[in-house]
Amino acid sequence: MSAMILNGKDLSVIIREQLKNEVEQMVKEGVRPGLAVVLVGDDPASKIYVNNKKKACEQVGIQSFQYFLEESTKEEVLLDLIVELNNDSSVHGILVQLPLPDHISEKKVIESIDPKKDVDCFHPMNTGKLFTGSPVFLPCTPAGCMELLKLTGVKPEGKECVVVGRSNIVGKPMAVLLLRENGTVTVAHSRTKNLKEVTKRADILVVAVGKAHFITEDMVKPGAVVLDVGMNRLDNGKLAGDVDFENVQHIATAITPVPGGVGPMTITMLLKNTVTAAKNQ
Ligand code: NDP
């Protein structure tokens, strides 16, 4: 058996084309959506992410504002910038690239962003709304996974769904999205006993651990849909997922590749949230 490869690049092209049309219409009506991206420090990987976001914005006609602050930037300076961006009517979405340097509180920074502009969906107001079932924004990576899942025609309703990883940005919100669609959801993490027994139950398996090739063929139920969020840089410079793609693809019904799976969809969902934010403001 060979799995359906869930191509996030191709799906992104389609969704970004739709967003481009929406943005053109909004511009005609006098509003161009704007996204501000703030990076503190000069981590090379973060710089690449920030530049990719800029390129993606340009593709669909969203105005992009970039702020590169020095590693030594004081917390107050960053918080002041966020206040400025909160009050700037040409900025509809604000994203602060994580991780931040140790001397800056991520919590404080996230909570200082106007929830209406929190296109990452990290603010407690927005995560709360997600939990209670009335979200304004969906968190980008889990939302991207749900879009890829739609391609398979497999609906979570009544299915065993296992999410490996419980971070606030991927694992936990992913579990909520699957639950919203009536999946029977298990969240596994580093303290889970007999992980293989748990993952093997999954009709839909989502993996966000951060360890290359962590999920092997013997941990996957034949016929499962496998969504691999992991992005791990190997010694040879290549990017690898958390799933042993080469072997798992032979037993899965559908699987996301890395790169070219969840990654591009995360940015696409960010663009979608920015357009939504602009419409709402
Ligand atoms: P975190 O490091 O915040 O979380 C990792 C999770 O994996 C934790 O919940 C941890 O458990 C769990 N874990 C670690 N070791 C094991 C183990 N041996 N068995 C079971 N669970 C384990 O990572 P993120 O959620 O932020 O990211 C995960 C991966 O996804 C990374 O590779 C990251 O680069 C990638 N990523 C990709 C994105 C994309 O757009 N494609 C976006 C965001 C992230 P515990 O809580 O118990 O410590």
CATH of the domain at 63: 3.40.50.10860
Q: What is the C-alpha to C-alpha distance for residues 146 and 173, in angstroms, rounded to an integer?
A: 11
Question: Do 36 and 110 fall within a single domain?
Answer: yes
pLDDT at residue 45, rounded to an integer: 87
Residue numbers of the domain that contains 49: 30-114
Pairing of strands 239-240, 232-233: antiparallel
Q: Which of 114, 130, 154 is the last residue in one of the domains?
A: 114
Our count of domains for the chain comes to 2
Question: Do 144 and 259 fall within a single domain?
Answer: yes
Tokens 């800029």: give the residue. 54
Nearest CA to ligand 1 atom 8: 165
pLDDT in tens, 19-61: 999 999 999 999 999 999 999 999 988 999 999 999 999 999 9
pLDDT at residue 14, rounded to an integer: 98
Question: Do 93 and 195 fall within a single domain?
Answer: no
Tokens 């206040």: give the residue. 83
- Residue 270 forms part of a structural domain: no
Q: What is the C-alpha to C-alpha distance for residues 85 and 73, in angstroms, rounded to an integer?
A: 17
The CATH code of the domain that includes 174 is 3.40.50.720
pLDDT at residue 1, rounded to an integer: 72
- Residue 162 forms part of a structural domain: yes
Q: What is the C-alpha to C-alpha distance for residues 77 and 68, in angstroms, rounded to an integer?
A: 12
The pTM assigned to this predicted structure is: 0.97
Tokens 């503190």: give the residue. 40
- Which of 118, 120, 203, 244 is catalytic? The answer is 120
Within the chain, which residues score under 70 in pLDDT? none
Does ligand 1 have an atom closer than 6 angstroms to the CB of 8? no
- Residue 242 forms part of a structural domain: yes
CB 127 within 8 A of CB 253: no
Is 63 annotated in the active site?
no
Does ligand 1 have an atom closer than 6 angstroms to the CB of 195? yes
Mutating to test ligand 1, I would choose from 49, 172, 209 the residue with most ligand atoms within 8 A of its C-beta, which is: 209
